[in-house]
C-alpha cells in the first residue's frame, strides 16, 4: 500500500511539473498572444508614438492601496517592436511622463510573450519606459501613427485626460496620424471631440476589451470599462466572443481608415500592422 501511494505521489508531482512547464504553450494554443502571420511593411522615415498609462495601483477609486498594475507589457511591446522592425522611429510617452508602471503580473512566465522577453533584454526600450515623454510636451501631428496601449492602469487615467483628448482631436484633424488602440487604450478616445463639440468617435466602428472579459477576470473595480464607455460615446462596438473572452481577438478599422482598434491583449500585433498597412498605402 505504501509503495502504491508513493508511486501515485511521484506521478502526481511529475504531472504537475510537466503541466506547469507546458502552460505557456497551452495558453498560446488557446489564443493568448497569437503569432502574427500577416503582411509586413518597411516604413523608414516614418514615426510612431506609443502612449501608456501612468497609473500603477489596482485600487478602488479614491483609495491609495492596492495591487501593483500599469500597462500590460505586451500591449506596449507588441506595437513597439512591430513599428521598430518596420524601420519606424518610435517614441514612448505617458500621461504624466517619467517612469511607466508595467504590470508585473504581465511579465510572469506564464503570460509573457517573446516581445516581452525582448523588452527585458533591451536597454533602449527600457530607457524609454523609465523616462517616458510627457504627452503635454508632444505634438501628435509630428507622427504617422499614434498607438494607445492598455492594461488595467489605463482605466484610471486615459479616459480622464483632457490633454490626451484634445491631442487626439488635433491629430485627427491634421489628417496625418493613423490613430490606434488596444484593449483599455480605447478609453483615450472617448472624450475627443469634433469641430462641432460632438464625440469624435460617435458612429465609428470600434472595439476594446469586452465587459464579459472584465467580469470573467473578476476585476470590475476599475472606474472605466472600454465596451461600456465606447458605447456611451456613440461608437458602434463590435468584438469577438468565446467561452472565455481572454482568448478572443478582433481588430476593427473604421470606415474612414483613421482609427484602428484592437479588442484585447491578443490584438496588439495585428492592430499595429493594420495601421502600417494604411500608412504604406498613403505613400
Mean pLDDT in the chain? 93
Q: Name the DSSP class of 186.
A: G
Distance CA 57, CA 156 (A): 9
The whole-number pLDDT of residue 63 equals 85
- Is the pLDDT confidence value at 201 over 50? yes
Identify the H or E element spanning 256.
none
Contact 250, 220 (CB under 8 A): no
Q: Determine the Cα–Cα distance for residues 95 and 207; give it in Å rounded to an integer.
A: 22
Residue 112: CB atoms within 10 Å? 19
| C-alpha span between 19 and 226 (Å, rounded) | 34
C-alpha cell belonging to residue 186: 480605447
Is the distance from CB of 58 to CB of 68 less than 8 angstroms? yes
CA quadruple 40, 43, 46, 52: dihedral, nearest 10: 20
Confidence at residue 225, expressed as pLDDT on a 0 to 100 scale: 98
**DSSP string of 4-44, one letter each residue:** HHHHHHHHHHHHHHHHHHHHHHHHHHHTSSPPP-S-----T
Mean pLDDT value across residues 4-23: 51
> For residues 214 and 221, what is the distance between their CA atoms, to the nearest angstrom?
10
pLDDT one-digit tens code per residue, 220-230? 999 999 999 99
Residue 152 pLDDT greater than 60, yes or no: yes
> Residue 86: which pLDDT band, with cuts at 50, 70 and 90?
very high
pLDDT band at 175 (very low <50, low <70, confident <90, very high): confident
Q: In this structure, are residues 208 and 155 in contact, taking their beta carbons and an 8 Å threshold?
A: no
- Helices 73-85 and 268-282: crossing angle in degrees, nearest 10, is 30
Predicted local confidence at residue 1, as pLDDT = 54
- Tens of pLDDT, residue by residue over 97-127, are 999 999 999 999 999 999 999 999 999 999 9
pLDDT score for 170: 97
Cβ count near 24 (within 10 Å): 17
Provide the angle, in degrees to the nearest 10, between the axes of the packed helices 73-85 and 123-130: 120
Domain map (residue ranges) of the chain: 1-30, 45-282
Residue 19 has pLDDT above 70, yes or no: no
Is the overall model pTM greater than 0.85, yes or no?
yes
Strand partners, 206: 237
Which residue has 500591449 as its cell numbers? 75
Q: Which range among 11-25, 65-79, 97-111 shows the weakest confidence by mean pLDDT?
A: 11-25
Q: CATH assignment of 45-282, given 3.40.50.2300, 3.40.190.10, 1.10.10.10, 3.40.50.880?
A: 3.40.50.880
Which has the minimum average pLDDT: 6-10, 86-90, 139-143? 6-10
Amino acid at each position: 500500500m505504501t509503495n502504491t501511494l508513493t508511486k501515485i505521489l511521484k506521478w502526481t508531482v511529475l504531472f504537475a511539473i510537466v503541466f506547469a512547464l507546458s502552460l505557456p504553450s497551452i495558453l498560446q494554443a488557446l489564443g493568448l498572444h497569437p503569432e502574427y502571420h500577416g503582411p509586413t511593411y518597411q516604413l523608414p522615415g516614418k514615426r510612431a508614438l506609443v502612449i501608456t498609462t501612468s497609473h500603477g495601483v489596482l485600487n478602488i477609486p479614491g483609495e491609495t492601496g492596492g495591487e501593483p498594475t500599469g500597462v500590460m507589457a505586451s500591449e506596449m511591446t507588441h506595437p513597439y517592436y512591430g513599428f521598430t522592425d518596420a524601420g519606424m522611429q518610435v517614441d514612448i510617452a505617458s500621461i504624466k511622463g517619467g517612469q511607466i508602471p508595467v504590470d508585473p503580473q504581465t511579465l510572469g512566465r506564464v503570460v509573457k510573450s517573446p516581445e516581452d522577453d525582448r523588452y527585458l533584454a533591451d536597454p533602449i526600450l527600457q530607457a524609454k519606459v523609465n523616462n517616458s515623454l510627457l504627452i503635454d510636451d508632444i505634438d501628435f501631428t509630428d507622427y504617422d501613427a499614434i498607438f494607445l496601449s492598455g492594461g488595467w492602469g489605463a482605466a484610471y487615467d486615459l479616459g480622464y485626460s483632457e490633454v490626451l483628448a484634445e491631442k487626439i482631436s488635433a491629430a485627427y484633424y491634421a489628417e496625418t496620424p493613423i490613430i490606434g488602440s488596444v484593449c483599455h487604450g480605447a478609453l483615450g478616445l472617448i472624450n475627443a471631440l469634433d469641430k462641432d463639440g460632438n464625440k469624435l468617435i460617435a458612429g465609428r466602428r470600434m472595439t476594446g476589451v469586452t465587459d464579459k472579459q472584465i467580469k470573467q477576470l473578476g476585476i470590475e473595480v476599475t472606474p472605466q470599462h472600454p465596451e461600456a464607455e465606447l458605447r456611451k460615446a456613440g461608437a458602434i462596438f463590435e468584438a469577438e466572443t468565446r467561452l472565455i473572452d481572454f482568448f478572443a481577438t478582433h481588430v476593427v478599422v473604421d470606415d474612414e481608415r483613421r482609427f484602428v482598434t484592437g479588442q484585447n491583449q491578443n490584438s496588439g500585433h495585428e492592430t499595429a500592422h493594420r495601421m502600417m498597412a494604411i500608412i504604406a498605402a498613403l505613400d
